[in-house]
């Protein structure tokens, strides 16, 4: 299914009531066509009366680009609601998905039979279902230790990558190809060289 704003709102209110004790504030809900994430909680940092940093102005974004199972959409909404609970409670976790997040996630999974995970990212299979035809410039690399992989430079960085790889001490060989093969759509283009390993 591809959720509507109405669907996300209904689920949000329901989970707020049943899982979060009705303590979460109303948030703005937006649908997104993002390829890289399933859900995202945007917020603002504002100064409180005492000068301390507070989190406010929450927007919950759910990606509708890919058709997903309802379970996955609901778990994505719950994932973002855990972020909201932490931030609205003005708590500072040890990292984006730190100790507080992980404990709360495990508890909800256990008590409500959910399968919320840490990752916001679309799975490889989902990204592979992206069949749009785009032009990619790919560097096929073999390192001196035998590792093979590909480089996927941002279009503005192609010449920089070529120059860097031509004199990189670890690179045994590199072949640059231009292709519209959609199987490359899943690799985020990078501004600095990142080797995506291939078999
Ligand atoms: Zn998250």
Same domain, 12 and 78: yes
- Which domain range does residue 25 map to? 5-126
Answer yes or no: do 70 and 23 share one domain.
Answer: yes
Say how far apart CA 162 and CA 102 lie, in whole Å: 41
Q: Which residue has the tokens 């100064």?
A: 47
Interatomic CA distance for residues 50 and 122, integer angstroms: 40
CA of 35 to the centre of ligand 1 (A): 16
Give 165 Cα–ligand 1 centroid separation in angstroms: 34
Is there a single domain that holds both residue 182 and residue 106? Answer: no
The confidence score (pLDDT) of residue 181 equals 82
Residues 20, 107: one domain?
Answer: yes
Distance from C-alpha of 79 to C-alpha of 77, rounded to nearest angstrom:
5
The alpha carbon of 102 and the centre of ligand 1 are apart by a number of angstroms equal to 10
Tell me how far apart the alpha carbons of residues 44 and 10 are, in angstroms, rounded to a whole number: 24
pLDDT of residue 85: 97
Tokens of 34: 């993002």
Q: Please report which confidence band the pLDDT of residue 197 belongs to, taking 50, 70 and 90 as the band edges.
A: very high
Q: How confident is the model at residue 124 (pLDDT cuts 50, 70, 90)?
A: low
Q: How far is the CA of 163 from the centre of ligand 1 (A)?
A: 37
For residue 187, the model assigns a pLDDT of 85
**pLDDT for position 127:** 61
pLDDT tens digits along 37-72: 889 999 998 888 888 888 899 999 999 988 888 999
Ligand 1 centroid distance, CA of 107 (Å) = 16
Same domain, 12 and 47: yes
In this structure, are 119 and 143 located in the same domain?
no
Number of domains in the chain: 2
How far does residue 89's CA lie from ligand 1's centre (Å)? 16
CA of 104 to the centre of ligand 1 (A): 12
Nearest to 77 by CA among 91, 64, 90, 89: 64
Question: What whole-number distance in Å separates Cα of residue 97 and Cα of residue 157?
Answer: 31
- Which 3-state string (H, E, C) describes 131-158? CCCCCEEEEEEEECCCCEEEECECHHHH
- Are both 78 and 160 inside the same structural domain? no
């Amino acid at each position: 299914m591809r959720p509507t704003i109405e669907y996300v709102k209904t689920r949000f209110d329901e989970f707020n009531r049943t899982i979060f004790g009705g303590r979460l504030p109303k948030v703005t809900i937006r649908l997104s066509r993002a390829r890289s994430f399933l859900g995202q909680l945007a917020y603002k940092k504002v100064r409180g009366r005492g000068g301390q940093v507070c989190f406010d102005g929450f927007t919950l974004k759910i990606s509708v680009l890919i058709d997903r199972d309802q379970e996955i959409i609901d778990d994505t909404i719950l994932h973002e609601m855990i972020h909201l609970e932490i931030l609205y409670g003005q708590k500072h976790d040890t990292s984006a998905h730190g100790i507080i997040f992980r404990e709360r996630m495990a508890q909800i999974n256990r008590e409500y039979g959910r399968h919320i995970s840490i990752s916001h990212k679309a799975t490889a299979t989902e990204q592979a279902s992206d069949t749009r035809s785009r032009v990619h410039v790919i560097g096929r690399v073999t390192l001196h230790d035998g590792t093979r992989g590909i480089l996927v430079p941002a279009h503005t960085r192609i010449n920089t990558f070529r120059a860097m790889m031509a004199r990189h001490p670890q690179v045994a060989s590199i072949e640059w190809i231009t292709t519209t093969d959609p199987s490359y759509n899943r690799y985020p283009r990078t501004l600095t060289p990142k080797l995506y390993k291939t078999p």
